[in-house]
Chain A
């Protein structure tokens, strides 16, 4: 199978510049990269179909070898449609990103950064056993005793804060439920 050199060079350029653009952080460039690479693949499939020939419309006097292979063309057609749909979707997404955040660049994942910034996982710190529910006496080991000294204060403060929040919430929800009750009563009355 011989390959058309022009086609090959164009394909190479499309792939190279497409991949270069894909590596950028700017979304518009990434989109351009996807379009270029998509067209590079289409040329690759075209090249895979072998040499050119007659249009694949059957005529009795043309020998089978003279026709062009129609299958790659059907494949390319499908691939073009798919690339088109993806391009349209990406454009919409880039526009949305621009409307929301006024930026064309991909930002970092906040939670990912947070986890990465966290120091190594620490059992002592992470598994918070409340002092009063712990089965171990506080002075069982010296390291623990030093750390736990602050705990009662902290948990008391946390509880106070929690109760305050809970009170607010209870008030809000009781008002709300009073509201719905009124509604119900009204509806019944009607």
Chain B
């Protein structure tokens, strides 16, 4: 009893632990091993704490904690409900795996110091920002969470300061700043209209203001979050900036950052602006996001760029579930967000491994990878099929839920979306199958200007000479460091476990969708607490 009651009281630690860890890691920047241990330790403890919070939220529903003891509508409140707890656990688990992968890469490349010493602190700050955004109980704290994670992401994206990264970084920073400004303007206007920024308080007060004003505020928030979530007309920046960053950075960005935008959209739609006023436009946007994204993916030769396009394309599924507006579809969206964080991140990690093994991520220049490294082939195949939504995997389960929500709605627009979702799924399969056929299945000799690294081993396989076997084996373990392969494998397994534990997970998703549609548990968790204390 005591334990479940107090889990929420430690919620601030989900933000503070990574920040303290970052400070410590920054102090220890000359001691690589110590820095690594601090970073990994901070994330492990945070993950344990968040798992506890998830269990607590699952049993007791939404709970809130007031920072500094200020009465709710005025002070900063952190809210944990099923959805935010699930997002916290998934995001931190993914961050931890990617961190291990990055550690493996750092150890293999032997970059002992230099600008890379800023990687660990910046990474922890990123995690803190993501946690803060998920926990935020008021709009301004959500803005601060966004800014924390964005500022850390600016540093991570331009790590090393090469020409390509600076170029990509400028686009990314400017677009992010503009969307943040838009969000801040929306917050200012909401404050002018209602006199509060607390989301639970707003849920009641926004309904009382003029519908026209409501619409303006609603659209402004959606546009601001739409940029961060990379929803179609606002997604142009993502494939431009993500692929240039180092593999682990791209992986964690792809997994987490856009999902924070999606999370904010879901909160806005369910808590602040319930009802279906904007569901029509959202559906059109979802359809366009899916189709434009996947068509862009098909045009790419570079695997990382292709993945960036599938990323924006699959954001469309989440917007689809949100726009459908039923509890069934919302539950599927919650599940799909968790699935997509894990799968997209593992594919980007695999892209990093492919780059190490084959010398490039341009699939026109790759070949023979299935023969050279069967482990890598398996690591690619599972999340790729998962992304395309092939039956036993979680991508299929999530999409099935979304489609059911669409069928239940039954409007012509919903049917169009259903068709669009199916086509997107098929085209995703085509895109990943092309990568499979070229990079893994065909022989390296058939590739355009293949890297010599591929040819030497392919040659060795064709005429098995004992002399060559030595260097190849040695090369393989050096090219694919164990830590990197194992951490990627762990993430792929996590993706598979979403299928295995689909039952309880869907229960959780259903429960959280119900609570979000009802709204009262969230509002009571924040505002109800004060009535006992002193009254409004």
Contacts and interface: CB of A to CB of B under 8 A. Distances in A.
Nearest to B151: A85
B299 A118 contact: yes
Give the interface centre of B171, B185, B188 by most chain A CB atoms within 10 Å.
B188
Interface string B173-194: 1100110110011011101100
A75 interface: yes
A174 B442 CA distance: 27
A41 B455 CA distance: 58
Given A101-B163, A170-B456, A27 B170 contact: yes
Nearest to B140: A75
Main secondary structure on chain A at its contact with chain B? helix
Given A109-B167, A166-B452, A158 B445 contact: yes
Give the interface centre of B185, B197, B444 by most chain A CB atoms within 10 Å.
B185
Contacts of B240: 109, 112
A170 B459 CA distance: 11
B455 A162 contact: yes
A90 interface: yes
Interface residues on A, range: 35 or more
Interface residues on B, range: 35 or more
B9 interface: no
B192 A130 contact: no
B181 A177 contact: no
Contacts of B415: none
Contact of B475 (A30, A37, A96, A173): A173
A62 interface: no
Interface stretch (A44-52, A142-150, A182-190): A44-52
Interface of B: 74, 140, 144, 147, 151, 154-155, 158, 161-163, 166-171, 173-174, 177-178, 180-181, 184-185, 187-189, 191-192, 197, 240, 243, 298-302, 305, 434, 437, 442-446, 450, 452-453, 455-456, 459, 468, 470-471, 474-475
Given A45-B184, A96-B161, 11 more contacts: A34-B181, A45-B187, A71-B191, A71-B197, A75-B140, A93-B170, A111-B302, A130-B442, A133-B443, A166-B459, A169-B453
Interface of A: 1, 22, 27, 30, 34, 37-38, 41, 44-45, 47-49, 71-72, 75, 78-79, 82, 85-86, 89-90, 93-94, 96-97, 100-101, 106-107, 109, 111-112, 115, 118, 121, 127-128, 130, 133, 155, 158-159, 162-163, 165-166, 168-170, 173-174, 177
